[in-house]
Structures are given as C-alpha cells and as structure tokens.
Amino acid sequence: MTGRRVLVTGGAGFVGTHLVDALVAGGADVVVLDDLSNGTTDHLNSRAALIEGSVTDAETRAEALDGAEVVLHLAAIASVPLCEENPELSAAVNRAAAIELAREARQAGVSAFIFVSSAAIYGEPTIIPIDENHPQVPIGTYGSHKAEADAAILAMAESGLPLSVIRPFNIYGAGQDPTSSYSGVLTIFTNRAQAGQPLTVYGDGEQTRDYIHVSDIVSSLCAVASSLVEKGEASPCHGRPFNSCSGHSTSLNQIISTLGNALGKSLEVVNEPPRQGDPRESVGDGQALHSAIGWTSSVSLEDGLRQLLD
C-alpha cells in the first residue's frame, strides 16, 4: 500500500496505533479518524494526519474519506459494560456508523474496505474450534451490534466495493492501559503480577481463550488489505469473513503459571464466583485466512508475555 491514502478509524486506540505504525512504515499516507474517547495522541505516529471527531457524524466521515483509497474500520465502543449501560451509543457506533461508512466508501470509489468485527458475535461456542460458519448467538449488546454490522457489510459484496471482515479473538500486547475497562486479562494480569498484587480469577481458572498478539492482528489486516488492493473483487478475501486468531487454547491457570515462571515467583490468586455469560471454552479456527492468502499468526504466547513484561 505504498503511496496510497489509507483511512484508519479508531487509529488512536490500542490496535489502531500499532496498525498506523505498520502502515506508515510501509509507505502509506495515513489518515486517522478518532474522537479520542478511548484513544490518545500520545502513541499516535506523528506522520499520520489526525481528524478528531466521531465516526457517527456524516460530515466528519466525508472529510475522512476524501481521497482515501483504503479504509480499515476499527472505531468501536469495545467496552462490554458500557454497551450494556448505553445501548443507544453502541447501536450508533458499533452498528449504524460501520454500515454507513461502508456505503459511503463504495460511493467514494474506495479500493478496499475492511471492517474489524469481533469473535464476540459467535456467543457461547457449540463447536470447537470456532470457524467462520459457527452459529452466531451473541451474548449482550456489544456482540449483537457487531454481528448486525458484520452481516450488513458482507451483504454489500455485490455492490462493487472490494471488502472483507476480520473477526479478532482475544487481543493483547504493549500499549493497553491496564486500568481501562477495555483492556484484556493478559494486560491486567501482567501489570498486577509485576506490582506484586493478587490476580483475580472468576471461576476455577480452567476456562480457555484464544489469545492473539496485536502485531499478528495488524499483519492479518495488512495482508487482507493488500490482497484487496491488488486484486479487487477477484481477491480470495473479497466478500468473506475471517477469524484472526492463534488457533491455540490457553487456560487462565496456564497464563498464571507462565507469568510466574517468567517472573521467577509464585503469584497470589484470588478466586471469585464465575461471571454470568462468560464462555467456558473458546478457540478460533484460522484455516480460512491461511488458505486464502497464506496468513498465520507468528507470535507465541510465551514470547508475547515476555514482551509485555519487558
């Protein structure tokens, strides 16, 4: 995407800043649209242009789309509690704005549009590992609105807009604020372990998740975008959803053991009752994306945790 104008919505957030860095390093002309409600300019690449505003505002979207050739739509209300407290806001950002942006991108003649959805759309797993055809029974407002936007955007595949949908699993890596409700358990656990504070585990700790490093998410987004830019609607990624995952199942107890070994000490754990709505097991199947363009995750959990500790 060297020399191409790329719009990244939510580009000042955790994943967004990593993605912007990668795009800038690759020679792209990057524009970021972010209202800074969760993101910050502290880590935003100085070579990226920032449009501070909400993705729900049509005029702001039009300004951001002006001249854009590629759109990577990350902007979202990612806090599950906030979505439950304010479903109207979730509907406006996570559903309506995503759909409108895709429609406007088509009208603007954009060469590639990628919507970052979520593995939350699958809900409680009934088949392990979870592939892209897994039934969608999302739990709660966040997952429901993401699922609706996911489906609506995929339905635009015949409209002349080269597009794809990426469904990340549990993202972790440097740059997450451990005090934020948006942060994942690995960031929180790493921060507390280094500070000598107890780790709170809801349930017995044997619940599993598929943890994927932020650099792997970024590489999957860039790989899909590049394929769409190069081949348009002939791309094997066009009109398809893809899991972005490690394909490995890891329990909280394994995380705690790995952290303790890395720090050379035993970690204090406080067990609380299981939280309602938390799936017992979750692991993604990433074969579809690998078959389409050869992409696979490359950062092991052990290496990713060492990076966090460093």
- What does the domain layout of the chain look like in residue ranges? 5-171+211-244, 173-210+248-309
pLDDT at 180 over 90: no
List the single range of 2-6, 103-107, 279-283 with lowest mean pLDDT. Answer: 279-283
Distance (Å, rounded) from C-alpha 170 to C-alpha 67? 33
pLDDT at 121 over 60: yes
What is the Cα Rg of the chain in Å?
19
Residue whose token pair is 């039934």? 135
Enclosing H/E stretch for 19: helix 14-25
Top-confidence residue, 242 or 308: 242
Active site (annotated) includes residue 142: yes
pLDDT at 183 over 80: no
- Judge contact between 10 and 75, C-beta under 8 A: yes
Beta-bridge partners for 115: 73, 165
- Judge contact between 305 and 258, C-beta under 8 A: yes
Query: What is 5-171+211-244's CATH superfamily?
Result: NAD(P)-binding Rossmann-like Domain (3.40.50.720)
Residue 97 has what pLDDT? 98
pLDDT at 233 over 90: yes
pLDDT at 181 over 70: no
Q: What is the pTM of this model?
A: 0.94
- Judge contact between 172 and 258, C-beta under 8 A: no
Domain 173-210+248-309 falls under CATH 3.10.290.10: no
Residue 98 has what pLDDT? 98
Same fold, 5-171+211-244 and 173-210+248-309: no
Distance (Å, rounded) from C-alpha 163 to C-alpha 225? 9
| Span 109-115, average pLDDT | 97
| Percent of the chain with pLDDT strictly greater than 90 | 86
List the single range of 161-165, 180-184, 196-200 with lowest mean pLDDT. Answer: 180-184
Q: Choose the catalytic residue: 122, 142, 172, 211.
A: 142
Q: Is 81 exposed, middle or buried (0-12, 13-18, 19+ CB in 10 A)?
A: exposed
Residue whose token pair is 């000490």? 265
SS3 303: helix
| Span 151-163, average pLDDT | 97
pLDDT at 172 over 60: yes
